[in-house]
A and B are shown apart, each in its own frame.
Chain A
Amino acid sequence: MRGRNANGTDTATGHGASEPGEPEIKPVYGPPTMLRLSAGYVYFHFGILKLFPDLSPAELIAGEAITRVSFHMLDMSTALFILAWMEVLIGLCFLFDFQLHRVFYLFLFHQAGTFAPLVILPELAFKFAPFAPTMEGQYILKNVVSVAAGLTVLLPVVRARGKAKKLARQRRRDAGAPPTVTPEVAR
């Protein structure tokens, strides 16, 4: 059963404070359940497809984009393997409402990558750039909805977490606690 620990942390999701001494700051709104679940489903389903060669329709453009971004240090199968697990992980975190404040950064990284082909592979993304996309380009451009959905789910959690940390620092300063970085170390 989910509950909260002595620090006020939601033991399942990590919402609120998780570090000792951090206060609980409730998100301004809870992650919308349907949005969270639908975003999680899309991530999980499309991610797991990429673990099976030849099953994902995005295999070509995603694999090619990553191999190019990595200057061909990653071959296509490795690139797809990494991408697939990244998407599965994000999807599971969304679905289970788990560690969303941490997955936020992975989400941003992933979404930035999904738009990369628009710049790296314009020949595949556009019939005529920038207003006439190909099917693949349209698929990528539609990700603006995913970004908006993801941010709607993640931002309140992340902001609450940020506020909690800030408040904890403030409280430590007020209590005269020693700074976390000593002058010797700083030098």
Chain B
Amino acid sequence: MSNYSASGQQRLFVLGFVALMVWGVTTTYERYRGTELSRVPSTTRAERPTPAARVSYERRYETKANDGSVSTFDDDRPYSADPSVLIERPDDSILRPLTDGLEIYPSVQKGMRTPFDLWRYYGRGVSSFSSPVLPMRFDQWLSYHRKQKPALMRDVYAYMDSRYDFDRGAIPGAFMSGGKPIMAGPIARLKGVASFEALAKLSPEEIRERDLFPYKPLAHPIQSTAHMVFPDEWVVAHPEHERIDVDMDFPPEYLPEFPPPLFLTTHKELGDVSNGHEITLDNHYDMFDGLLTPEQMEGLKELLRPSPTTWFNHTDHRITEQPSKGVACMDCHVNGHTNGAFELGPDARPHMARLRVDTPTLRGNYNLMQLSSRRSIRSLDHFSEVEEYFDGDPGMMQAIGPRAVKREVSNRMADFNAIVDYPPAPKLDPLGRLIPEKSTEQELRGEALFKGKAMCSQCHHGAGFVDDQMYDLQVERFYVGRPEGPIKTFPLRGIKDSPPYLHDGRLPTLADTVEFFNLVLQLGLTEQEKDDLEAYLLCL
């Protein structure tokens, strides 16, 4: 053996072995990716069938001669009526994946930290179906998060601070419907460019190339579990919803007021029917008996009744220290509005591909023909039925405990949902136009911009300032990231009450929203015009 060891033969043998291993692993990887076990989608397109293999188009034109013989066309006729003309195959680049510069989702288990820049990743999951089993014992789960949470939250706050300047203060004299000050903006931090005006002069390609875009998506701080993250103000009032793994990443000043006022289409004369209280299962009967129909009352009760969810429940598969009764619809949609809690949209798999979504308000839902971000749900009844908080996985519902809202009950929930009104907008006339006598010059200029140069009204029009369409803003033109696809237009009526904006809350203020659309739609608005537009949005 020692002679052999000293010889060059061994080196040759080892060299061959190494080459074989490299070839073997590489080949195996190509065969493995795209299989049901792999998180890496195959990017190899199947070979297009050759014209000869396409068959039968020609065979329909079989002709039978007098002598009984059958002649068929046997050429590339589908591509050209004239066989002498060679038709170029169409460019199939639009069929190819848009994954350049993206990475495969990291391998994580439930509870593990995930990148804050999840938009840079893509891939498929091992399964569409989840499991109600933790990757460890529950006491280990608790100690795991006790260790992880402080470091995670330090990093979350540092990350948010790197993206936004949360010290800009409020807009003087601007308040939400219930009196909470509205924060000034834009607060997104710019890097590598002096101003938003300078940024807007650059092309999408240049912004992408120089990595200057300040409004990249926001990910859930811990996407491996994700689920609802409640604002600090809510958690103080409802400590049963304090999570062991993560807290809210936005300061309370940049979230909707708590509790928000509730306006009913059926009792406009009463103004805020909540009178400053949070409506709960305990107090709703006293507050609404004699004001609602029995059907609406039943619906309201159901909206207030907690139900076990994927992570708020009585089993070990939870992110609360103590077993939880669950979450009610109106724990996020407080008083028919929103408290700014966020979740993941249940509309996609793998779990890592789900987009962070802020809780939208229920106000004015009666005007919407399309609900739920990317799911395009077409009725309030259907919406009430599918918002089960099992993250789009009915199998989890089976394991954790049935919510199992029956159709007649979900219909009642929709009955109440359908009378939650927008907040008053005293400066708007019945057609949603500013009343000149009640408006400032700046607000009127903003309205003109809204309907003109800024092109807002192209999507935001009508009673709810919404068109019930889904649009793909193609924001990935401005950064290297996974395309988010079409998302429904959000109603702008009462918009001042529901920061932060866009589906994932990446736009903390109205001013950031204006800057975002100025960039994305390449509007070329001046600083004055942007201020005018913001002033107008505060009137809606």
Contacts and interface: CB of A to CB of B under 8 A. Distances in A.
Contact of B106 (A37, A44, A63): A63
A141 interface: no
Contact of A123 (B14, B26, B144): B144
A45 B10 CA distance: 18
B8 A2 contact: yes
Contacts of A63: 106-107
A168 interface: no
Contacts of A105: none
Contacts, number: 83
Contact of B11 (A45, A49, A96): A96
A12 B8 CA distance: 10
B133 interface: no
A44 B21 contact: yes
Interface residues of A, number: 35
A64 B108 contact: yes
Given A60-B108, A95-B14, A123-B141, A54 B38 contact: yes
A103 interface: no
Interface string B82-115: 0000000000000000000001101111001101
A48 B25 contact: yes
A155 interface: no
B494 to A, nearest CB: 39
A48 B136 CA distance: 29
Contact of A45 (B21, B137, B144, B151): B21
B104 A124 contact: no
B63 interface: no
B6 interface: yes
Contacts of B21: 44-45, 48
Contact of A54 (B2, B10, B14, B104): B104
Interface string A1-33: 110000000001000000000000000001001
Contacts of B18: 44, 92, 95
Contacts of A64: 108, 112
B135 A124 contact: yes
Contact of B5 (A33, A44, A49, A75): A33
Nearest to B148: A68
Contacts of A139: none
Contact of A76 (B4, B106, B135, B144): B106
A13 to B, nearest CB: 10
B29 interface: yes
A27 B143 CA distance: 49
Nearest to B109: A60
B81 interface: no
B141 A52 contact: no
Interface in B126-181: 135-137, 140-141, 143-144, 151, 155
A64 B39 CA distance: 18
Given A33-B1, A45-B21, A59 B8 contact: no
A48 B22 contact: yes
Contact of A59 (B4, B6, B11, B107): B107
Nearest to B37: A54
B392 to A, nearest CB: 23
Contacts of B22: 48
B288 interface: no
A76 B115 CA distance: 9
A70 B18 CA distance: 31
Contact of A49 (B25, B33, B103): B25
Contacts of B28: 55
A77 interface: yes
Interface in B25-51: 25-26, 28-29, 32-33, 38-40
Contacts of A1: 8
Interface range for B: 35 or more
Given A33-B1, A33-B5, A72 B155 contact: yes
A77 B118 CA distance: 13
A53 interface: yes
Contact of A124 (B29, B115, B136): B136
Contacts of A54: 33, 38-40, 104, 107, 123
A17 B113 CA distance: 48
- Residue of B8, B18, B137 ringed by the most chain A CB atoms within 10 A: B18
A132 to B, nearest CB: 11
A166 interface: no
B79 interface: no
A143 B118 CA distance: 33
A124 B151 CA distance: 19
Contacts of A37: 14
B471 interface: no
A44 B17 CA distance: 11
Contact of A95 (B17, B32, B33, B108): B17
B25 A123 contact: no
Contacts of A95: 14, 17-18
Contacts of B2: 30, 33
B155 A52 contact: no
B155 A55 contact: no
A127 interface: yes
A122 B39 CA distance: 26
A116 to B, nearest CB: 14
A77 B113 CA distance: 13
A179 to B, nearest CB: 38
Given A60-B109, A76-B107, A124-B109, A55 B32 contact: yes
Interface of B: 1-2, 4-6, 8, 10-11, 14, 17-18, 21-22, 25-26, 28-29, 32-33, 38-40, 103-104, 106-109, 112-113, 115, 123, 135-137, 140-141, 143-144, 151, 155
Interface of A: 1-2, 12, 30, 33-34, 37, 40-41, 44-45, 48-49, 52-55, 59-60, 63-64, 67, 71-72, 75-77, 92, 95-97, 122-124, 127
Given A2-B6, A52-B26, 16 more contacts: A1-B8, A30-B5, A33-B1, A33-B2, A48-B25, A52-B25, A53-B40, A53-B104, A55-B32, A60-B108, A64-B112, A72-B151, A76-B115, A95-B14, A123-B136, A127-B137
20 contacts: A2-B8, A33-B1, A33-B10, A34-B1, A53-B39, A53-B40, A53-B103, A53-B104, A60-B108, A60-B109, A60-B112, A72-B151, A76-B106, A76-B107, A76-B108, A123-B136, A123-B141, A123-B143, A123-B144, A124-B135
